[in-house]
Each structure stands twice: as structure tokens, then as C-alpha cells.
């Protein structure tokens, strides 16, 4: 039998709190975000889960969430692999902008399309922008052509899926229990694939911060069951809070 899979969205970040488009900008967790990460670790401990390997992104909010969760689990020794393909969706020229101010400038309908449509990306970031990934030292060994200047959720899925097939799926098929600590959109892309969610449905799916989602899979890695750990009503309320904030403040991704 394959191992089990846990998906964990990072805790609240500083730019989540400030209602800014974050994307690949490497912002830290807030105090609340750190508390959410530790709470996730306690939920995993209550479930009795022991991990064989952790996959995370190259961004500190996901990495620190992983550290804090593993500390609560008393499993700091677990092997960790960081990879850029698990980074958050790149928000292009919107990165760093206040979401409400952006809506006032471009109109709420246009910003909603950029944020929540499946295959329409925001305006692209210029290649010579200091914030472009090709100008970030951590990606210096990559071909600049693979580094995005903007992404839709569809493009994020195209980026994440090869890593799932090449790195994560083989460990699950070998019977290992795997934790993936990443971001709202890189995880939404993976959930879309795992659960076979339609393009027009995934746009309404919201993943709460700091609540582990446990997948039980068959030998072909088809989903047998998935559930959020802890109180189901609390997880539903946390996901609804993300959706409600998206309606009132254009989201908190």
C-alpha cells in the first residue's frame, strides 16, 4: 500500500495580514501564522502521523511552517526537500500591491478575474524588474526561461504537476508518508489534480491556513479519502473565512 499524504498551507504571512499580493515575494510569518503552524503540528501528533519525507517550497513562510510543525511533532530529523516548483503562484506585476488599492485602480471585476479565474494571468512582471525570479540568487542555477513573470492557476498546475510525478508520487508509491508544506495556489493546483476538480469549480475552492489535509490513496494514487484534521466545523469555518475575505477584500492569498 502507498503511504499517506498530508498537504499543509503555510500559516498567516505578514502580507496576508496587510492584504497584499504576495506570490513569490519572500515574506515572513506573523505571530498568528507561527501559532497556526504549531497548532498544525499538534493536530498531526494527535493523529499519530510519522513522516518519512517533507517537500516544501523555496519561500520562508512555507519553510518556517514546516519547521514549527515538525518541532511540535518531535520529528525535526525528517528529510526535507525544497523546490521552486512548489512556490506560490506568481502574481506578476501585482506582487506587493495592496489589493484594495489595486481594485480601486483597475476595478473589482478585473482584479477578481486576475485572482480567481482559472486561466487568465495578471499583467506580466518585466524581466528586468529586481523582483523577477531570474534576478533572485536562490534560482541562479535554473534556466531563466522556466521562471515565471506571471501565472494563472492553470500555469501553476503546469509547474507543480511534473514535480508531483517525478519527486512526490514515487515516494508515496514506495509506502512512505509524505508532508507537502506549500501555498494556497500551489496546493489548490495539486488538489485540483488529485480530486479531479473541474476548471470552473476549482476557482471556488479555498484552502485554510495551518490546517493539515490528510489523503488516503490507493496503489495508483487515486484518492480513497481526504479530510482536514481536527474539528471539521473549524476547518470549514476557516475555509469560509478565506472565501468571505475574498468577497470583501479581494482575498488573502
Q: What CATH number is attached to the domain comprising 231? A: 3.40.50.1240
Q: Which residues contact 147 (CB under 8 A, 6 or more apart)?
A: 84, 132, 133, 134, 139
Query: Which of the two residues, 101 and 202, has the higher pLDDT score?
Result: 202
Task: Give the model's pLDDT for residue 252.
Answer: 41
According to the model, what pLDDT value does residue 101 have? 83
Is residue 88 annotated as part of the catalytic site, yes or no? yes
Q: Is 165 part of any known ligand binding site?
A: no
**What whole-number percentage of the chain has pLDDT above 70?**
92
State yes or no: pLDDT of 250 exceeds 80.
Answer: no
Domain count, the chain: 1
Of 36, 88, 132, 183, the catalytic one is 88
Nearest to 39 by CA among 13, 10, 60, 63: 10
Q: What is the pTM of this model?
A: 0.92
Give catalytic status of residue 236 as yes or no.
Answer: no
- What is the per-residue pLDDT for 105? 82
Mean pLDDT score of the chain, rounded to an integer?
92
pLDDT score recorded for residue 90? 97
99 is an annotated ligand-binding site residue: yes
Range of the domain at 137: 5-248
Q: Which of 10, 36, 132, 151 is catalytic?
A: 10
With respect to residue 64, please indicate whether it lies within any of the assigned structural domains: yes
Q: Let me know if residue 147 belongs to a domain.
A: yes
Whether 225 is covered by a domain: the verdict is yes
- Structural domain contains residue 167: yes
In a domain, 35, yes or no: yes
Q: What percent of the chain has pLDDT over 90?
A: 77
Report pLDDT for 237.
Answer: 66
In a domain, 253, yes or no: no
With respect to residue 95, please indicate whether it lies within any of the assigned structural domains.
Answer: yes
Instruction: Classify residue 125: in a domain, yes or no.
Output: yes
Query: Residue 239: its pLDDT value, please?
Result: 67
| Mean pLDDT (whole number) for 32-56 | 97
- The arithmetic mean of pLDDT across residues 214-235, rounded, is 90
248 annotated ligand-binding residue: no
Amino acid at each position: 500500500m502507498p503511504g499517506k499524504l498530508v498537504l499543509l498551507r503555510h500559516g498567516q504571512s505578514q502580507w496576508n495580514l496587510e492584504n497584499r499580493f504576495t506570490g513569490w515575494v519572500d515574506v515572513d510569518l506573523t505571530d498568528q501564522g507561527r501559532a497556526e503552524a504549531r497548532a498544525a503540528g499538534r493536530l498531526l501528533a494527535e493523529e499519530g502521523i510519522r513522516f518519512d519525507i517533507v517537500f516544501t517550497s523555496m519561500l520562508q513562510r512555507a519553510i518556517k511552517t514546516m519547521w514549527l510543525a515538525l518541532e511540535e511533532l518531535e520529528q525535526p530529523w525528517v528529510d526535507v526537500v525544497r523546490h521552486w516548483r512548489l512556490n506560490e503562484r506568481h502574481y506578476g506585476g501585482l506582487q506587493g500591491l495592496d489589493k484594495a488599492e489595486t481594485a480601486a485602480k483597475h476595478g473589482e471585476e478585473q482584479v477578481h478575474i486576475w485572482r480567481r479565474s482559472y486561466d487568465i494571468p495578471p499583467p506580466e512582471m518585466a524581466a528586468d524588474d529586481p523582483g523577477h525570479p531570474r534576478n533572485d540568487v536562490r534560482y541562479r542555477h535554473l534556466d531563466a526561461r522556466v521562471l515565471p513573470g506571471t501565472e494563472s492557476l492553470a500555469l501553476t498546475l503546469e509547474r507543480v504537476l511534473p514535480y508531483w510525478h517525478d519527486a512526490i508520487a514515487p515516494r508515496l508509491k514506495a509506502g512512505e508518508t509524505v508532508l507537502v508544506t506549500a501555498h494556497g495556489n500551489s496546493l489548490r493546483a495539486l488538489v485540483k489534480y488529485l480530486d479531479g476538480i473541474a476548471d470552473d469549480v476549482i476557482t471556488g475552492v479555498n484552502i485554510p491556513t495551518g490546517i493539515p489535509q490528510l489523503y488516503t490513496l490507493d496503489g495508483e494514487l487515486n484518492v480513497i479519502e481526504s479530510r482536514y484534521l481536527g474539528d471539521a466545523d473549524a476547518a470549514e469555518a476557516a475555509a469560509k473565512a478565506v472565501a468571505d475575505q475574498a468577497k470583501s477584500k479581494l482575498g488573502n492569498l
